[in-house]
Chains A and B, each alone.
With several copies, the nearest count.
Chain A
Amino acid sequence: MKISDTIIENHGLKKEEYKNIQKILKRDPNILELGVFSAMWNEHCSYKSSRIHLKKLPTKGKQVIQGPGENAGVIDIGDDDAIVFKIESHNHPSYIEPYQGAATGVGGILRDVFTMGARPIALLNSIHFGSPTHPKTKSLLNGVVSGIGGYGNCIGIPTVAGETKFNSTYNENILVNAMAVGHAKKTKIFYSKAKGINKSVVYVGSKTGRDGIHGASMASAEFDENSEEKKPTVQVGDPFTEKLLLEACLELMKDESIISIQDMGAAGLTSSSVEMASKGSLGIELELDKVPCREENMTPYEMMLSESQERMLIILEDGKENHAKKIFKKWDLDFVVIGKTTNTNNLTLKYYNKIVGEIPINALASNAPVYDRKWIKKKIPQNKIDIKKLKKTNLKEALKKILSSPNHSNKSWVTDQYDQMVMCDTAQKSGSDAAIIRIHNKDKAIAVSVDSSANYCKSHPLTGGKQIVCENWRNLISVGAKPLAITNCLNFGNPENKEIMGEFAECIEGIKEACEFLEYPVVSGNVSFYNGTNKKNIYPTPVIGGVGLINKLEKPLNHNFKREKSIIILIGKTFGHLEQSCFLKENYSISEGSPPEVNLLNEKNNGKIVLKLINKNFVLSAHDVSSGGLITTLSEMTINSNLGVKIEKPRKLRNLFEYFFGEDQSRYVLEIDPKNIIQVEEILKNGNIYFEKIGFTQKNFFEIEDEMKMSINELFEINNEWYNSY
């Protein structure tokens, strides 16, 4: 077949990139080779626009066993235990077919984790939808939530935390990010780097079909009016087969049979084989006629580009083929030796003994194109909002608006559809700041949370980037965990646009600063560009997934008030920053101004001391103050506890709205037993922590002195109404 300009364009390759291919091969590629190049050189696999920025992220620390560059990051949690985790996006497929898109997103990230020898122990997700009034939102929400549940529930891994947000910026491009967390033995981690020549390359799992051909290129292309036509490429997930694959792989991993292993994710057989060879500086030869196929007459091109799910590539030690085969047969899975490692440094593709494609591995992997795209900085917006000029409201009405808004409503409509308890180690389900998962048969536990703040990032990406890392860190501290490391999923618009590229570069800069200061390294992640349609890009939406450690789990700490007459302490200074707040957005539809300032020094100090108080068992309940401000935080602490609170009027004369709805960072609300208050105050003073005693818990009523009084039932109703009537 002659490679025409249209063919090149359909493969998402630029003219210069094609010329480059001709130069590398010293000839024209055939269509199979072109397909392989396009799969490896697209944004999704090559990180061509992001690579130079990602390099800036801090990835080291004594807790880090494996940073970015493998299927998932690995951290040390003491003893023989390691935690393996990563987050990944499945945005475009989920918009086209929400159930299958979300389901296969979960399946894909699980494979990344168990490929490394870890048994998955928790799933998280961050999902962003368009405005609730947009005609597509409801069915997308339904489809995505049941798809996430459908996969996770079936395979039997608890989905324990996440976030569900609505904003019209996602009307034409929803976000579906899934994170998986696994537990492994430190001494039994598996990597994708191939070693040794003439080793068997084995294909295991499901058969290859025509699913998702060109999926990776699709994930890297902007949507347009015709995107509906790209539909047939959507893959269908089979969680049942994935469960078999998981058990079979873990069984084979018990001994020393595996040299290296890699899941077939985006760009399937192509990227998995190339990655393994590239990391081992080897060549790899595949006999494509041996690939197990689901459909008749599949071509080598289709086999190399198929994104059929639930498949893995394994390089075996000599002589282990029969042993391994037995295990996969036990689990009713395909097992075929389809190739071998070579010393040629080429990807060699054979079909019935004839070479049908040959490409230097380097050209596909380490030497794939890298772009330093133009980007521009964003200034901090200066518009200040004068609250006195706004239409009058009162605390109660304003609070009701927030608690009944889609973004702040109780999410049990979503989380009840996920099995959160399977595996019997979920010490704290979703609903609190972070979920707590106990390490099986041990006293220790991990805490996990995912967070994002698109509004802040849109307004000022640098501050926004810092803020999400801090919020994530705060969420882990609030359940008594020491934050250890993060993974990140960077959802952005079109990188060829210099403002978008600026948002990207600056968010990364913010993430970097916060991670460095908090000693909270990045161990894995994923970039999703081209989120948007035509000329409309989504708000920059980096999502941070954090993991923390609780050394000895005695009683899971959550944010529900525990007793009457406890003292309520607010940690951290309140300045009353209202721009970009939920208060202005929900009450006045104002979304201008700058995000709250992030002071990393305070963040770190406050967090450390709060953790100290928790570890000394002085804290009955804790909640960080974030979107919606102090009053929202307090009401969330009452809603599920059946205990109210009485808050004194702020002592210094301040604007009540600024005080109660301001979104200043680095703050926590703690519930303290009066008998411990002296010791607590001493620790806070010695730690140089700014704090205020703001009130105490009481029965039945949520009350602010002289200003408002509401029954907890009423609060509960308000908070639970939206999803049930949507």
Chain B
Amino acid sequence: MKFSVTVTLKKDVLDPQGKVVQNTLINLGMNDLKNIRQGKFFEIEIDEKDEPSAKNKIDQMCKKLLVNLIIEDYKINKVS
């Protein structure tokens, strides 16, 4: 089973990178840009047929390693 995980900074946490990227895009003439948030992305494939249990395992991976829960939020999606 394949899942994707997106990890983004929590709302109130300073995002210096996002700020610089946004300014640069605007300077490059992308005036319609309203907001850009960035984060990390993982595509994870696991050997597990049962969806809830698979999801649970992905959740464990996020909590144990992939996500810094102090400053980041995450979302899991099933891909296939």
Contact = CB atoms under 8 A, between A and B. Distances in A.
B38 to A, nearest CB: 14
Interface stretch (A60-68, A235-243, A431-439): A235-243
B75 interface: no
A96 B71 contact: no
B14 interface: yes
Contact of B16 (A96, A232, A238): A238
Contacts of B69: 231
A294 interface: yes
Contacts of B20: 240
Interface in B10-62: 10-16, 20
A308 B70 contact: no
Given A231-B70, A234-B71, A295 B16 contact: no
A236 B68 contact: no
A236 B12 contact: no
Contacts of A236: 13-16, 71
A234 B70 contact: yes
Contacts of B16: 236, 238, 240-241
A209 interface: yes
A119 interface: no
A239 to B, nearest CB: 9
B14 A211 contact: yes
Contacts of B71: 97, 100, 234, 236
A210 interface: yes
Interface string A203-219: 00010011100000000
Given A97-B68, A97-B71, A232 B10 contact: yes
A97 B69 CA distance: 10
A425 to B, nearest CB: 28
Q: Is the interface of A mostly helix, strand, loop or mixed?
A: loop
Contacts of A309: 14
A235 B70 contact: no
A209 B14 contact: yes
Nearest to A236: B14
B14 A235 contact: yes
Contacts of A96: 70
A231 B68 CA distance: 11
Interface string A225-237: 0000001101110
Contacts of A240: 16, 20
Contacts of A209: 12-14
A232 B14 contact: no
Contacts of A206: 14
A96 B69 CA distance: 11
A97 B13 contact: no
A17 B72 CA distance: 37
Interface residues of B, number: 12
Nearest to A294: B14
A333 to B, nearest CB: 12
A480 B45 CA distance: 60
A63 to B, nearest CB: 39
Contacts of B12: 209-211, 232, 295
A100 B15 CA distance: 12
Contacts of A97: 68, 70-71
A397 B74 CA distance: 51
A308 B14 contact: yes
A295 B15 CA distance: 12
Interface string A100-114: 100000000000000
B14 A238 contact: yes
A308 B13 CA distance: 10
Nearest to B9: A236
Contacts of B15: 236
Contact of A211 (B13, B68, B70): B13
Nearest to B70: A231
Interface in A284-343: 294-295, 308-309
B20 to A, nearest CB: 7
Contacts of A211: 12-14
A236 B70 CA distance: 11
Nearest to B23: A332
B39 to A, nearest CB: 14
A677 B31 CA distance: 67
B68 to A, nearest CB: 7
Contacts of A238: 14, 16
Contacts of B11: 295
Nearest to A235: B14
Contacts of A234: 70-71
Interface string A185-229: 000000000000000000000100111000000000000000000
Among A206, A211, A234, A238, the most chain B Cβ lie within 10 Å of the Cβ of A238
A238 B17 CA distance: 9
A152 to B, nearest CB: 16
Contacts of A210: 12
A271 B11 CA distance: 26
A204 B69 CA distance: 31
B28 to A, nearest CB: 12
A536 B10 CA distance: 33
Nearest to A228: B70
Nearest to B69: A231
A329 to B, nearest CB: 14
A235 B71 CA distance: 9
A231 B20 CA distance: 26
Nearest to A143: B68
Contacts of B68: 97
A298 to B, nearest CB: 10
Among B11, B16, B20, the most chain A Cβ lie within 10 Å of the Cβ of B16
A442 to B, nearest CB: 35
A97 B67 CA distance: 12
A291 B15 CA distance: 19
Contacts of B70: 96-97, 231-232, 234
A632 B13 CA distance: 46
Contacts of A235: 14
A44 B27 CA distance: 41
Interface of B: 10-16, 20, 68-71
Given A97-B70, A309-B14, 19 more contacts: A97-B68, A97-B71, A100-B71, A209-B12, A209-B13, A211-B14, A231-B70, A232-B12, A232-B70, A234-B71, A235-B14, A236-B13, A236-B14, A238-B16, A240-B16, A240-B20, A295-B11, A295-B12, A308-B14
26 contacts: A96-B70, A97-B70, A100-B71, A206-B14, A209-B12, A209-B13, A209-B14, A211-B13, A211-B14, A231-B69, A231-B70, A232-B12, A232-B70, A234-B70, A234-B71, A236-B13, A236-B14, A236-B15, A236-B16, A238-B14, A240-B20, A241-B16, A294-B14, A295-B11, A295-B12, A308-B14
Interface of A: 96-97, 100, 206, 209-211, 231-232, 234-236, 238, 240-241, 294-295, 308-309
Instruction: Please give me the 4 A-B residue pairs with the lowest Cβ-Cβ distance, nearest first.
Output: A238-B16, A236-B14, A210-B12, A231-B70
